[in-house]
Chains A and B, each alone.
Chain A
Amino acid sequence: MPNISDIATKHRPDLSKYEDLYKHFHANPELSNQEKETSARCVSELKSISSDFEIKTGVGGYGVAAILRNGSGKTVLLRADFDALPIEERTGLPYASKKRMTDADGVDKPVMHACGHDMHISCMLGAAEALYAARESWSGTLIFAFQPAEERGTGAQAMIDDGLYDPKRHNVPIPDIVLGAHVMPHRAGVIGTRRGLIMSAADSMRVTLHGRGGHASMPHRLVDPVIMAASTVMRLQTIVSREVDP
């Protein structure tokens, strides 16, 4: 029975390197689908660990997939997302972001890694170094997937649609097991798993109701969309209150 814990502890890399890397990513966040430098840095870090990583770039935008083949066995995919958010950083940290970028609508926005994706990629790059160092102790295939645009809900699908697993395109082997992780506001040191449902589905939409505008004194010549909207807003609440099993 392999002692996984011993292997992990023995091959843990120098964390100060990853601390510096984390601070760099934190100070240099990039918005969804604009993660050019972040992507490039992940690639250069992987290359500096080993030339044995088969690196696929430009997957679904700036996504990266790095394959480490190490004999026969299962294929495990590890995933970390790397986009940041249009939020002003107020932490006051010495490595706080002061970055601004133009978003997809052409609007200038402050940018911050307000969801911890910088921690995700720092941890996963460190894990890549550890697992490479430990390669005598395991066999199989590892895929490190650095995913763009998680905050838009589009990045994973974009990697798929761009042929992540397509032999004629990026040709990443289909994994047997897919694993991912997220930093949360739990107490540091806590790590948690959960069987079954761990996150809900989320759907957002914009709805336009079409009336016919004009002078407020002439309702008979108009179709008032404000009434429609007001009635809709109230009626929508009956879905949860009267249609869903309590």
Chain B
Amino acid sequence: MHKPTNTTTLPSYDTAVVTCASIQAGDAENVVIDDARLAIDVRTTNPTTRAKTLASIKRIVAAEALAGNAVKDPTFQTTRAFPLTVNDHALTEKLEESFGSHFPKGKDGYVADVSQLAGSEDFSILASAVDRPYSFFVYGGTAPEKWDKAEAEGRLMEDLPVNHSGLFAPVIHPTLQTGLDGYVVAALTWLAK
């Protein structure tokens, strides 16, 4: 049984983002409303900071409610929670070997230190729930000619639709083969005879 090797590569600095994405209260100018509602989003990269940040939010909200003479304690409702995704080192090292042997190496093929993703995933729960190691990989879907044009114009950040955009449309080829081969090679890494 392979237990996770929990040597996490966390940066020596820390990072957290707290966003109040929505504040809603009141309507007419001469009517003070009963309740004000906030929608808050938090991104963190280590479990300690995550816990501390969430605790700080609770503390600050409670303190502001107290300072404002609130008629009752504030109400909190968690709407989404995604864990950290920290790829197991030993597992990923083996994928480096098998992916490197199958996919062309280099910035347009297999990349062993792909950049951290902006979003979050609940995938790791399928592993951490049973204390098993995991690794999550990514593959590109932007049409090469679109990418090359945006790169040449210095507009990679502006011109390429990202996930959750109404314009997001992976090019079917070679994406399909890359993703398919990715799953196959990944599985064979531990199962091939």
A residues at B contact (CB < 8 Å)? 2, 4-5, 7-9, 11-13, 15, 18-19, 22-23, 70, 73-74, 76-79, 81, 85, 87-91, 93, 112, 114-116, 119-120, 122-124, 126-127, 130-131, 134, 137-140, 142, 145, 147, 150, 152-157, 159-160, 164-165, 174-217, 219, 222-233, 235-240, 243-246
Is the beta-carbon distance between A245 and B13 smaller than 8 angstroms?
Answer: yes
Residue pair A204, B79 in contact (C-beta under 8 Å): yes
Q: Which residues of B137-193 have CB atoms within 8 Å of chain A's CB atoms? A: 137-144, 147-148, 160-193
Per the bound structure, the CA–CA distance linking A85 and B81 in Å amounts to 17
Is there an interface contact between B20 and A233, defined as CB atoms closer than 8 Å?
yes
A-contact bits for B32-52, CB 8 A (1 contact / 0 none): 111111111111110101101
Closest-by-CB residue of B relative to A174 is B130
Contact B143 A207 (CB under 8 A): no
Apart from the given pairs A137-B192, A181-B182, A226-B25, 4 other A-B contacts in the complex at a CB distance below 8 Å: A123-B183, A165-B129, A193-B99, A208-B36
Specify the chain A residue showing the minimal Cβ separation from B17.
A240
Query: Given the complex, which residues of A lie within 8 Å of B69, measured CB to CB?
Result: 223
Q: Are B109 and A191 in contact (CB under 8 A)?
A: yes
Complex-state Cα separation, A175 to B3, whole angstroms: 11
A130 surroundings in chain B (CB, below 8 A): 180, 184
A196 near B137 (CB under 8 angstroms)? no
Are the C-beta atoms of B68 and A196 separated by less than 8 Å?
no
Q: Is the CB of A216 within 8 A of B175?
A: no
Are A127 and B191 touching (Cβ within 8 A)?
A: no
Interface of B is mostly: mixed
Residues in chain B within 8 A of chain A (CB atoms): 1-2, 7-11, 13-18, 20, 23, 25-26, 29-45, 47, 49-50, 52-54, 56-57, 60-61, 63-65, 67-87, 89, 91-93, 95-96, 98-99, 101-103, 107-117, 119-127, 129-130, 132-144, 147-148, 160-193
Given the known inter-chain contacts A90-B166, A209-B61, please indicate yes or no for A184 contacting B121, CB distance below 8 A.
Answer: no
CB-based nearest A residue for B91? A177
Asked whether B177 lies within 8 Å of A152 as measured between CB atoms, the reply is no
Which of A112, A120, A199, A222 is close to B166, meaning CB atoms less than 8 Å apart? A112
Give A122's nearest chain B residue, CB to CB: B176
- Of the candidates B56, B57, B83, B177, the one whose C-beta lies within 8 Å of that of A12 is B177
Residue of B nearest to A145 (CB): B126
Contact: B125 with A85, CB < 8 Å? no
A114 to B53, CA, bound (A): 30
Residues of chain B lying within 8 A (CB to CB) of residue A190: 107-111, 114, 139-140, 178
Contact pick for A182, options B13, B138, B174, CB 8 Å: B138
Q: Which of B83, B95, B122, B144 has the most CB of A within 10 A?
A: B122
CA distance A207 to B75 in the complex (A): 6
Q: Which residues of A are found within 8 Å of B138, using beta-carbon distances?
A: 181-184, 186, 191-192
The answer to whether B78 and A204 have CB atoms under 8 Å apart is yes
A-B contact pairs, 20 of them (CB 8 A): A9-B102, A76-B186, A139-B193, A152-B80, A154-B122, A174-B130, A180-B137, A185-B141, A187-B148, A188-B170, A189-B178, A192-B112, A200-B44, A201-B45, A201-B50, A204-B79, A205-B77, A225-B33, A232-B20, A239-B53
